Structure 1
């Protein structure tokens, strides 16, 4: 399948700020499930650093605006050929040991409700293969947290989402990471794009899912929001310990000013 992407992010400031420094995870890495045909990241007026690959195998680029500015606009456009690998991440070069992803953050720290969820999901399955246990955890998260836009916010933690009892893909992913850690399986947060329309028409979707390390298979993706493993409808951008760590755009603003954010993401699919 060929997926085309148009992703524009615009920040507007109420008064000029002294400068902006950003770190972008906006370029897909090559792996068995995706091949970049064409890809551009454009930031008018900015100094673009060299694109480099970090230890996790993700492409990073620094961007800076070193003058008083009232807005910054980041535009991503490109085309990626995707194939279904049953959620298994193959051919992805990385140097970080999987056990490094046993670390939890404030966003993925488990509370009693998450521990109870794991106990219930894996009761009697303690000796089951890791892949089976990972699927059980993903299904349990999907059932415990119905998808409800607006139920949470960008800074909601896994524990807070469980207390709320609903959430979006960010919450499902962070809760699933917390569950995997309790089950002694490394897990990480993945950001990317998803085309979710049956007819391949343009669709607005920036997305997130978890990868759990399964012995004998490696990293396997689990999208609890859609109750599936990532397939040819997904483009993988980058990974991290949680939503903040894996964010496609992270940055610093020099000088305080009220900020507004406008994001447009359009994904279109076409058969080869």
Structure 2
């Protein structure tokens, strides 16, 4: 599927910024069933200082905020060709060894809630893929999708206690439970083409688990589907904090306000590409289910 993305992030400051740095993970890479055909980034109120690949092999851009700026706008536009690999992104590569994805983080540390969730899953743990399927259903049953109640600092334990959250919370609980059972898990941030609209309020997040013989397998628990050709992977990490699209610091500026505008659409080149995205069918062995 050919997907077109337009993503604008605007920070508005009450007072002039004296000094500020931001790290952006907004550019996808040609890997794991996707090819980036074109991608541009435009900045207002800031300039690029460096570009590099981080420890997770994400493309990162370091920008500095212009002295005295009251607003910073980052606008990304691009086209990505994607394919459906049944949720499988392949064997592990990159700078980080697999054991790094077993370590709990502040957002994914398993407590009593996560342990109780794991104990409630009635599935054969010897069949890792089948168990992960069952675990994904359990997470969805315990956390109802409801935006506005959690934020980027909400832990897996807190999300389970609340029983409500968003895609980030689903992913963190799933990751926490998997690591508790010594399964390598990671967070994925990116874009999803919605079936009912192009304009969205934010990017999307899901999780991947490592399954012997298959490699990394994606689970989008919030949408109860395996990642398919509608998904664009942008960044991965041990949790959201390591895959966040924008992080940074600023001196001065006072109170800041964030506004995000995002559009993800299928780009049609001819009659042969004018099909709509396929509906999710029953998941088979080798497919991840959210």
1:173 aligns with 2:153: no
Deviations 1:127-186 (A, max 9, x none): 2x2111221211111111111122322321111110111111011011111011112101
1-side partners of 2:210 and 2:56: how far apart? 13
Unaligned runs of 5+ in 1: none
Query: What's the secondary structure of 2:199's corresponding residue?
Result: coil
SS in 2 for 1:51: strand
Distance 1:45 1:17, change over 3 A: closer
CA distance in 2, matches of 1:270, 1:197: 14
Q: Which residue of 1 aligns with 2:130?
A: 132
Equivalent position to 2:238, from 229, 238, 241: 241
Q: State which of 251, 258, 261 in structure 2 corresponds to 1:261.
A: 258
Q: CA deviation at 1:124?
A: 5.2
Which position in structure 1 is the counterpart of 2:211? Answer: 214
Preserved CA contact (<8 Å) 1:53 1:60: yes
User: Which whole-Å CA distance do the structure 2 matches of 1:24 and 1:91 have between them?
Assistant: 26
2:15 — aligned with what? 15
Q: CA deviation at 1:64?
A: 0.9
Partner residue in 1 for 2:54: 54
On the 8 A contact 2:92/2:98 being kept in 1, the answer is no
Q: 1:28, 1:91 → 2: CA distance?
A: 19
Q: Which aligned pairs between 1:135-214 and structure 2 lie closer than 5 A?
A: 135-197=133-195, 202-204=198-200, 205-214=202-211
- So what's the TM-score if we normalise by structure 1? 0.93
Aligned position for 2:27? 27
Give secondary structure in 2 for the equivalent of 1:64.
strand
Unpaired runs of at least 5, structure 2: 274-290
Q: Deviations over 1:75-112 (max 9, x none)?
A: 11111001001111138851211110111112111221
* Counterparts of 1:11 and 1:219, CA distance in 2: 35
Contact 2:90-2:217 at 8 Å conserved across structures: no
63-72 or 225-234, which moves further after superposition? 63-72
Instruction: State how far apart, in whole Å, the 2-side matches of 1:151 and 1:227 are.
Output: 21
Aligned CA RMSD, in angstroms, stands at 1.7
Whole-Å Cα distance in 2 between the matches of residues 92 and 196 of structure 1? Answer: 28
Partners of 2:140 and 2:91 in 1: how far apart? 29
3-state SS, counterpart of residue 55 of structure 1: coil
For normalisation by structure 2, the TM-score amounts to: 0.87
- Aligned-partner Cα distance in 1 for 2:244–2:92: 19
Q: Is the 8 A contact 1:2 1:82 kept in 2?
A: yes
* CA distance in 2: counterparts of 1:56 and 1:19, whole angstroms: 28
Give the corresponding residue for 1:87.
Answer: 87
